[in-house]
Amino acid sequence: MDLTIQPQQHLALTGANGCGKSSLFALLLGELGADGGEIDGLDSMRLANMAQEIAPSQSTALEFLIEGNPGIAAIRRELAAADEARDFERSAELHQALDSAGGYDIERRAERMLEGLGFAAGDGARVVDSFSGGWRIRLNLGRALMAPSDLLLLDEPTNHLDLDATLWLEQWLKAYPGTLILISHDREFIDATCQQVLHVEQQRVNAYRGNYSAFEQQRAERLANQQASYEKQQRRVAEIDAFVRRFRYKATKARQAQSRLKELERMQRIAPAHVDSPFSFSFLAPDRASDPILGLSEATLGYQQPVLDAVDLTLRPGSRIGLLGRNGAGKSTLLKSLTGELPLLAGQRNEGAHCAVGYFDQHQLEALDLDASAFTHLQRLRPAAREQEVLDFLGGFGFRGDDATSAIAPFSGGEKTRLALAMVVWQKPNLLIMDEPTNHLDMEMRHALTVALQGYEGAMVLVTHDRHLLRNTVDELLLVDDGEVSAYQEDVSSYEQWVLKQQEDAPASPASAAERGGRRAQRQAAARQREQLRPLKKQIDSTEHALEKADAALQALNTRLADTGLYDSDRKPELDELLKEQGRLRQQSEQLEATWLQLQHELEQREAELAAGA
Q: How, if at all, do strands 196-201 and 204-209 pair?
A: antiparallel
Q: Tell me what pLDDT residue 284 has.
A: 79
Q: Exposure pattern of 89-104 as b/e (b: 16+ CB <10 Å)?
A: eebeebbebbeebebe
Q: Which residues contact 328 (CB under 8 A, 6 or more apart)?
A: 118, 120
Q: Give whole-number Cα distances, 490 to 367, 478, 486, in Å.
A: 37, 10, 12
Distance in Å from the first CA to the final CA of the chain: 67
Buried b (16+ CB within 10 A) or exposed e, 218-233: bbbeebbeeeeeeebb
Encode pLDDT of 425-469 as tens digits.
998 998 999 999 988 888 888 888 888 888 888 899 999 999 989
Q: Which CATH class is domain 10-218?
A: alpha beta
User: What is the CATH architecture assignment of 533-614?
Assistant: Orthogonal Bundle (1.10)
CA gap 278, 398 in Å, rounded: 6
The pLDDT of residue 537 is: 78
- Residues 22, 183: Cα–Cα separation, whole Å: 8
Percent of the chain surpassing pLDDT 90: 27
Same CATH fold assignment for domains 10-218 and 533-614: no
The mean pLDDT of 130-152, rounded to a whole number, is: 90
d(CA 263, CA 270): 11
- Write down the pLDDT at residue 255: 56
pLDDT at 12: 92
Torsion of CA 471, 473, 475, 478, to 10 degrees: -70
| Contact in structure between 12 and 198 (CB atoms under 8 Å) | yes
d(CA 257, CA 248): 9
Per-residue pLDDT tens digits for 176-212: 999 999 998 898 999 999 989 988 877 778 888 888 8
pTM for the full predicted model: 0.70
Report the alpha-carbon distance of residue 464 to residue 471 in Å, rounded. 11
Cis peptide before 292 (omega within 30 of 0): yes
DSSP 383-433: TTS-HHHHHHHHHTTT--THHHHSBSTT--HHHHHHHHHHHHHHT--SEEE
CA distance 383 to 392: 16
pLDDT value of residue 168: 93
In this model, does residue 603 exceed pLDDT 80?
A: no
Q: What sections of 455-512 are H helices per DSSP? A: 467-473, 492-504
What fold characterizes domain 294-508? Answer: Rossmann fold (3.40.50)
The stretch 268-281 carries a mean pLDDT of: 64
- What is the pLDDT at residue 35? 58
Q: Is the pLDDT of residue 602 over 90?
A: no
How would DSSP label each residue in 268-335? Answer: HHHGGGGTT-S----PPPPS---SS-EEEEEEEEESSSEEEEEEEEEE-TT-EEEEE--TTSSHHHHH
Residue-wise pLDDT tens digits, 231-262: 555 565 565 565 556 555 555 445 555 665 66
Contact criterion met (CB below 8 Å) for 134 and 158: no
User: CA-CA distance, 62 to 46, in Å (whole number)?
Assistant: 23
Q: Does residue 585 have a pLDDT over 90?
A: no
- Across 555-594, b (16+ Cβ under 10 Å) vs e yields eebeeeeeeeeeeeeeeeeebeebeeebeebeebbeebee
- 300-328 confidence digits (pLDDT tens): 999 888 899 889 999 988 889 999 998 88
Residue 477 confidence (pLDDT) above 50? yes
Cα dist. 309→316, 408, 510, 522 in Å?
Answer: 22, 42, 16, 12
> What gap in Å lies between CA 201 and CA 183, rounded to an integer?
15
The ranges assigned to domains in the chain are: 10-218, 227-276, 294-508, 533-614
Q: Distance between CA atoms of 180 and 170, rounded to whole angstroms? A: 12
Residue pair 5/179 in contact (Cβ under 8 Å)? The answer is yes
CA dist 187 and 205 (Å) reads 18
